[in-house]
Amino acid sequence: MNCGTKFLLFSTTFLISCISLSGADWFCDSCEEKIRPIQQLLSRTLINNKQIELELHQCTTNIHISEIIEQKFMKLNEKLDKQPNTISQEFSKLSQLSQISIDKLSAIEKQQQSSHHRELNTITELQAKLYEKNKELKAKENECADLRNQLNAMKNVIKEKETQLIENEKRAKIVLEQKIKEKYDELKIIKSQKESEEEHNAKLEAKTQNLENQLSLYSTCCKTESCQTFGNSTNANIIQIPDSEPMKLSCNDVIAEPGWLVFQRRIDGHEDFNRNWTDYQMGFGNVEEEFFLGLEKLQQITKSEPHELYIQLEDYANEKSCAYYDRFEIGDADENYVLKSIGTYSGTAGNSLQENIEQQFSTYDHDNDSDEINCAKLLSGGWWYSNCGFSNLNGKYAKDIFWDEWRGYEYSLKSVIMMIRPKNNHH
């Protein structure tokens, strides 16, 4: 039902109600009964009216709203009408911008193309250069390979040369060593020859010296009664004495026939000379140092032929003197080796043996002296003691070795050498 229809219905209802109310006076009797339905109807109509009013109001409101909407729609339409123009303008602007962009892009593209072209050219040039360089490199490589081959060949040659050189060196070394050895052997032979020559010369010299000494001795001590003393040599030689085995004996400097044989030597007190009878009989000490040959051998040597005696003395001032006797002879064991003879004295020491002639030999355990006391015990040695006497060459070293005529009986001599020699061999 629209608003016009509702309004028409409302007016009709109101008119009918008004007609019903105005006829009440006329029908008073029983009016009330008759009015009631009308009142009810009226009341309902009023309510309806109210509702209709409300609806009408709402309808009016709705109409108003729809008018607003319509206006807005109109406005929108207007806008819509205007918009195509705007869009067209915008589109035109955008088109222009787009064209500019396209132009710019085109320019850039052109630029890029030209740049690309240049780069391509450059690359092509570089490739060409690279190709050339590669070619050169290959050539160089070939050259290098050639050189390497040459080098290897040279190396091989050098190696061969080296090997050859080493071989040559080895050979040369061997040859050289052989030569050195030969030369060394030659040298050795020469040296040994020289040595033997030297030895021979030395021997000759020694012999000459000995001969000279002998000559000197004969021409001085023996014949002029002066004294040519010996050196201090203690050389020992193997000598064969009569009725005895060959033995080592000291011959001093004079070895050649006729030579002096040392039978007693004192030099440093190393050997004890305070010995018993048997020791003096058999001898003692070291023939190259201090020793006594022994009475038995002395007797054997001297008994066969005449001998001469030579005594050399030395004091602590290293002064020497000698006593020479031209005939020395002793008895055998049964005679207690009595000093039979000494012959004639000559020399520088004085004759301190004179008292001992015809005296038997004595040791501390064999008192054969002519004194009441034991001279051997007193003078600590073995000797041809008389009344003890004036000589004691076997006495205690540094105490009782004396030769009275030279240094007195209280002076103990530093060294003594007693020697014998066959008398006839050199006259």
- Residues lying near Ca ion in the complex (CB under 5 A): 367, 369, 371
- Nearest distance, CB of residue 367 and Ca ion, angstroms: 4
Is 313 or 379 the residue whose CB approaches Ca ion more closely? 379
Place of tokens 């001898």: 283
- Nearest distance, CB of residue 276 and Ca ion, angstroms: 16
- Nearest distance, CB of residue 406 and Ca ion, angstroms: 26
CA dist., res. 194 & res. 349, Å (int) = 45
- Nearest distance, CB of residue 211 and Ca ion, angstroms: 46
- Nearest distance, CB of residue 335 and Ca ion, angstroms: 17
125 token code pair: 């040039």
- Nearest distance, CB of residue 369 and Ca ion, angstroms: 4
Q: Are 264 and 393 in contact (CB under 8 A)?
A: yes
Is 273 or 385 the residue whose CB approaches Ca ion more closely? 385
- Nearest distance, CB of residue 373 and Ca ion, angstroms: 6
Is 322 or 338 the residue whose CB approaches Ca ion more closely? 338
Is 260 or 384 the residue whose CB approaches Ca ion more closely? 384
Place of tokens 């007016």: 11
Is 275 or 307 the residue whose CB approaches Ca ion more closely? 275
- Nearest distance, CB of residue 398 and Ca ion, angstroms: 25
242 token code pair: 């009569």
Is 351 or 362 the residue whose CB approaches Ca ion more closely? 362
- Nearest distance, CB of residue 397 and Ca ion, angstroms: 23
Q: How crowded is residue 264: how many other Cβ atoms within 10 Å of its Cβ?
A: 20
Residue 313's beta-bridge partner residues?
A: 321, 416
CA dist., res. 394 & res. 404, Å (int) = 14
393 token code pair: 């060459």
Is 271 or 371 the residue whose CB approaches Ca ion more closely? 371
Q: Which of 324, 292, 293, 296 is nearest to 310 (CA)?
A: 324
In this structure, the strands spanning 247-250 and 320-330 are unpaired
SS3 150: helix
CA dist., res. 53 & res. 3, Å (int) = 10
Classify burial at 426, counting beta carbons within 10 Å of its beta carbon; exposed 0-12, middle 13-18, buried 19 or more: middle
Is 290 or 369 the residue whose CB approaches Ca ion more closely? 369
Q: Which residues contact 258 (CB under 8 A, 6 or more apart)?
A: 214, 421, 422, 425, 426
Is 315 or 367 the residue whose CB approaches Ca ion more closely? 367
The DSSP secondary structure of 95-123, one letter per residue, reads HHHHHHHHHHHHHHHHHHHHHHHHHHHHH
Q: Are 17 and 49 in contact (CB under 8 A)?
A: no
Q: How far is CA 198 from CA 66, 201, 204, 207, 293, in A?
A: 169, 5, 9, 14, 34
Give the helix/strand (H/E) hosting 415.
strand 415-422
SS3 214: helix
- Nearest distance, CB of residue 298 and Ca ion, angstroms: 22
Is 325 or 337 the residue whose CB approaches Ca ion more closely? 337
Amino acid type, 121: N
SS3 129: helix
Is 253 or 369 the residue whose CB approaches Ca ion more closely? 369
- Nearest distance, CB of residue 280 and Ca ion, angstroms: 16
CA dist., res. 91 & res. 106, Å (int) = 22
